[in-house]
Structure 1
Amino acid sequence: MWLRIKIAFRNAFRNRRRSLLNIFMIASAVAAIVVFEGFTHNMISGLRETTVQTQTGHLQLALRSFWEKKSNKPKQNLIKSYQRVVTELLKDKRIQYAAGKLEFFGLLSKGDESMSVRIITLDPQKEVSRNKHFRFREGKALHKNRPFQVAVGNGLARKLGLKANSNVSILTHTYDGVVNAMDFEVSGIFQTDIAEFDDSTLLIPLKTAQELLDTTAVEQIVVGLKSSWDTTMVKDSVRAVLAGIDPDIQVKTWYQIATLYKQVSMFNRVQNTMVQFILMALVLLSIMNTVGMSILERTGEIGTIRALGEKRAAVVFQFLMEGLFLGLGGVLLGILGAICIAKGFNAMNIPIIFPGASAPIFIKIEVLYSAILKASLLGLGITILAAVIPAHRASKMNIVEALRYNI
């Protein structure tokens, strides 16, 4: 057995130039897969963290009518017992914060300029960790002792020419349909890097929003966890709590709500799959060509060993081992190349703007063990598969015709 492996190793590098070319192609494919996976993972992780920390929280609670959007009367979607729900939820040590939330539209005015905006509440007292995740380009975050201040998205501030300490007015309808307005001071200009959010969103303290809308209730309850890994388990615990308070309140995870995240994640998954398919197809054709050329050059040799009593399986094994050695060399070189590429890009801090982003982000590549394993298995699997087809054909050669080939 060891002798066969030794012979296969020597045969694999008999034509060094051709073998090195194939190893380089396999290495390029493996490195590309690891780098693409690491880049998209880092980008998606950043989007997930931004979405959870600045928009959805890990869990959101609301009445069934709110989720199903069956009611045309927003007042029917209000959770009147939300304080009791929040108190019960905070008994769970895995929950970092739980706070009421209102989301509505209004008219933001500065002087003669006005614009329709999405207004989202934030409880500065209870949602301290969430409040810290908004990156402020100017001014400060909302504070519990400054109820008549609002924070404005960077894109929205640019459209209306707002700066920190600017005076603005908000006009909206209460849940009873009455027009109400309040004057505010802009506490700061925030940026989340999600253009859709930054261009249209304004943050307002929860209690102030309740006063503006003339209500003491909330539409949703946002729950933030200490660890994202606990999301599913805490969701089950929250359901049990809600069953004893108000069974009509339903809980959803951030993933069920985050439409943009799901779209971007799915797009990148499909894109990576297509790239991997193309790369592996190129490797498959390359290895098949190499093994095919090797078989053609060694037809007489194959006939000789078959005439000496070597079985067909032994011939197939010989070429499979040769393909495996090429694959191992390519995989090891590819992993090393991926690590070097990742370190190089991470050190250069290259900015790039993605569709839907409000600001450039730096290219960061995370070398994942899962990506290395996936690329290695794909590389070795394709290499072995590419060697099987011509090797099987070689084992079925007519011995007499094979012996005549080199005469």
Structure 2
Amino acid sequence: MNYFAIGFRNILKNRRRSIVTLISVGFGFATISLFAGYIKNVYSGLARQAIQGELLGHLTVMKSGLRTEGKLHPEKYMFSKKELDRVVPILQQYPHTVLVTPRMSISGMVSNGTASTIFVGEGVVPADVKKLQGDFQRKLAGDLKPDNPIGVATAEELGKILNLKRGDSAALLVSTVTGQANALDVDIIDTFNTGNIGTNDKFMYLPFELAKSLYDIDGAERLIVLLDDKAFTDQARTELTAELKKAGFDVELKTWLELSSFYTQVKRMFDMIFAFIFSNVFIVVVMSIVNSMSMTVVERTREIGTLRSMGLRRSGIVRLFATEAFLLVALGCAGGLLFTLLVRLAVNSAGITYTPPNSSNVVRLMVDLDVPRMARAGLMLSVLGIAAALFPARAAARKPIIDSLGHV
């Protein structure tokens, strides 16, 4: 017996009910697919923003204890020049390494001559910034000039607070690693938007050599490693940690994911929202399939009795209705996929923009295709749809043939 052919004819026979069920399944699948595509695009954008925009790279190499004790004893937890001469070659020799660059965090006071405020800065190698940024379009770090050793880039709101513009001069005051005050004059050569309202009024990028001079140290706080693909991040951390331990360095390697708290918080929030939407859509779709199949079984009780009298076993009856449920889900998902592609094309072409919470940058609304989530959604819908058809079909198949034939 060709269950698929018979199942398809039965779907056409109950055309009105089948259409309602197909619409329910299709819109449910499309809802899940579109939201999954949206959050995939958000995750991808946040990952690029962390790795390239915020210059985190893929791995950060630091001495063990830097994040807990480093503020109290900074010199003890920084790499000396001799240590850098040994550590950097180990990192550079790793097959997937694209760039290894030193980094220095710095904080203090910035003054325009009449007013001052606090700043938090990052000392970076100007020539390495472009390599880290790659093709990332949004300007989150500012442009430093390798030929200007005292040129710094300030966040937009920080510049507004002190009325500092490109071409102006300012003074930086910090404490050296030994606790002494140190001040230097700098040039404002660029401004940028950090993309975060919490840091846009205090952040600054300055040349790495200038940061070393302010801290009065010849070394680096940590090293940033850029890989050729973020897929190798965990593997690289494991292998490089082993290599550095073997060389006698007590270090810890943090991935961009561990250091980007914003990415982690946003991902956790969207995962919870997706789970909520997913569960609600599934309940609606499953209830629709249960209602459709229950009514179908009741209306076709005499047909079931006829098939049983012709020798079709109970398992064959169950298989027939399970096939119909599967076809309903498959056709509904196919329609939902087509609807998803059309809506995705419309949204991506519309140029819709919005400003996310806690952000100072406008973001374009885009929808990707999250194939793994879509496949899992289709599979779960199929399994639940078949399960929804099994219970009424088994109940009908157990009825005595005479009772089924006499059903009105």
User: Residue 47 of structure 2 aligns to which amino acid in structure 1?
Assistant: R
The CA distance in 2 between the partners of 1:351 and 1:103, in whole Å, is: 33
Kindly indicate whether the alpha-carbon contact (under 8 Å) linking 2:170 and 2:188 is maintained by their aligned counterparts in 1.
yes
2:17 corresponding residue in structure 1: 18
Stretch moving more, 210-219 or 96-105: 96-105
How many angstroms does 1:328 deviate by? Answer: 1.2
Q: Which residue of 2 aligns with 1:312?
A: 314
Deviation digits for residues 301-351 of structure 1 (CA, Å, limit 9, x no counterpart)? 223333443321111111111111111110111111111111110000100
Moved more, 269-278 or 327-336: 269-278
Give 1:93 deviation, angstroms: 4.6
CA contact (8 A) 1:320 1:387 kept: yes
Is 1:277 the counterpart of 2:312? The answer is no
Of 215, 239, 244 in structure 1, the residue corresponding to residue 217 of structure 2 is 215
Residue identity in the other structure for 1:28: F
SS at match of 1:198: coil
- Provide, for residues 55-100 of structure 1, a one-character-per-residue CA deviation record: whole Å limited to 9, x for no partner: 4211111111214447722222111122432233223352221122
Alpha-carbon shift at residue 192 of structure 1 (Å): 4.4
- Structure 2's unaligned 5+ residue stretches are none
TM-score, with structure 2 as normaliser:
0.92
> Is 2:21–2:328's contact at 8 Å kept on the other side of the alignment?
yes
Partner of 2:177: 175
- Which residue of the partner structure matches residue 228 of structure 2? 226
2:69 & 2:388 partners in 1: Cα distance?
54
User: How big is the shift at 1:111?
Assistant: 4.2
Q: Does 1:294 align with 2:282?
A: no
After TM superposition, the structure 1 stretch with the greater mean CA deviation from structure 2, 255-264 or 274-283, is 255-264
Determine the structure 1 residue equivalent to 2:158: 156
CA pair 360-136 structure 1, distance change in 2 beyond 3 A: closer
Check conservation: 2:90, 2:244, Cα contact below 8 A.
no
Q: CA RMSD in A?
A: 2.2
1:128 positional shift: 3.4
- Structure 1 residue 403 and structure 2 residue 402: aligned? no
How far residue 35 of structure 1 moved from its aligned partner, in angstroms, is: 1.1
Mapped to 1, the partners of 2:75 and 2:224 lie a distance apart of: 19
- Report runs of 4+ in structure 1 exceeding 4 Å deviation: 131-134
CA shift in 2, pair 1:159/1:307, >3 Å: farther
Summarize the Cα distance change of 1:202–1:225 in structure 2 as closer, same or farther, 3 Å threshold.
same
Deviations 1:197-222 (A, max 9, x none): 43432111110011011111221111
TM-score normalised per structure 1 = 0.92
CA drift at 1:164: 2.2
Cα distance in 1 for partners of 2:284, 2:109 equals 57
Q: Is 1:87 the equivalent of 2:86?
A: no
Q: Could you report, residue by residue, the CA deviation over 1:185-238 in whole angstroms, capped at 9, with x for unpaired residues?
A: 222122343444434321111100110111112211111112222223332342
SS in 2 for 1:28: helix
1:109-158 deviation digits (Å, cap 9, x = unpaired):
234332222111111134431256584499x6102111111112234334
Q: Is residue 2:386 matched to residue 1:384?
A: yes
5+ unaligned residues in a row in structure 1: which ranges? none
